[in-house]
Chains A and B, each alone.
Chain A
Amino acid sequence: GQNIDQPTEMTATEGAIVQINCTYQTSGFNGLFWYQQHAGEAPTFLSYNVLDGLEEKGRFSSFLSRSKGYSYLLLKELQMKDSASYLCAVREGRAGNNRKLIWGLGTSLAVNP
């Protein structure tokens, strides 16, 4: 079956660092995405990992371990505007045209002053 797990809610303080974990069990794996979604808005792309290791992009970094079925999103120097839902999604397509993403339920992050 398909399963993507991430914590429902997290709270952090402005200026701090927070790590949001995602574990997945899918029939195939062809990449993992992190998206940010503010309330009432569409998801916006943050990062994409297909190989093991850490991808850094400014204040945001994403890590992948394919053998463990595990990823995390690291947010540094938190700002109030980072309060949002963070969605983990896996492309399980084995080949060719399967582009469907399987999504987690999202982690709602609240950044407090």
Chain B
Amino acid sequence: DTGVSQDPRHKITKRGQNVTFRCDPISEHNRLYWYRQTLGQGPEFLTYFQNEAQLEKSRLLSDRFSAERPKGSFSTLEIQRTEQGDSAMYLCASSQENQETQYFGPGTRLLVL
């Protein structure tokens, strides 16, 4: 069994470009979460899916950010017109229904130049 996987692990982009990240949760987990983390801070909640439904989205998430989970398995997070302030580690986590523990992937480190 593999854990949560994320792709790519690192991304360097220029300001104004669009980027897309992918997360593959643990196979039997129906809940999937996206977080953002900057140096010296705890993870910051972005959004959460149960199966294919996006049930919660942070007010901190501007309209440049969008996430999908079309078939209730993998998810994508897209950032449009990236800004330097978007530079961070983007973490994906998944959990099983009726269990509380969230298991994290290795993260995608984004650097916007």
Instruction: Identify the A interface with B (CB < 8 A).
Output: 4, 31, 33, 35, 41-45, 48, 50, 87, 89, 91, 97-106
Contact = CB atoms under 8 A, between A and B. Distances in A.
B85 interface: no
Nearest to B48: A99
B50 A101 contact: no
Contacts of B48: 99-100
Interface residues of B, number: 22
Given A42-B106, A48-B101, A102-B45, 16 more contacts: A31-B100, A35-B104, A41-B106, A41-B107, A42-B91, A42-B107, A43-B104, A48-B100, A97-B55, A98-B56, A99-B95, A100-B48, A101-B43, A103-B43, A106-B40, A106-B41
B42 A45 contact: no
Given A42-B91, A87-B42, A97 B102 contact: no
26 contacts: A31-B100, A33-B100, A33-B101, A33-B102, A41-B106, A42-B91, A42-B105, A42-B106, A43-B104, A50-B100, A89-B42, A89-B43, A91-B100, A97-B55, A99-B33, A99-B48, A99-B56, A99-B95, A100-B48, A100-B56, A101-B43, A103-B42, A103-B45, A104-B42, A105-B40, A105-B41
Contacts of B106: 41-42
A45 B102 contact: yes
Contacts of B45: 100-103
A102 B102 CA distance: 13
B65 interface: no
A105 B42 contact: yes
Contacts of B40: 105-106
B42 to A, nearest CB: 3
Given A42-B91, A87-B42, A89-B42, A101 B56 contact: no
Contacts of B22: none
B90 to A, nearest CB: 11
Interface in B31-47: 31, 33, 40-45
A31 B42 CA distance: 17
Leading 5 A-B pairs by shortest Cβ distance: A103-B42, A42-B104, A100-B45, A97-B55, A42-B107
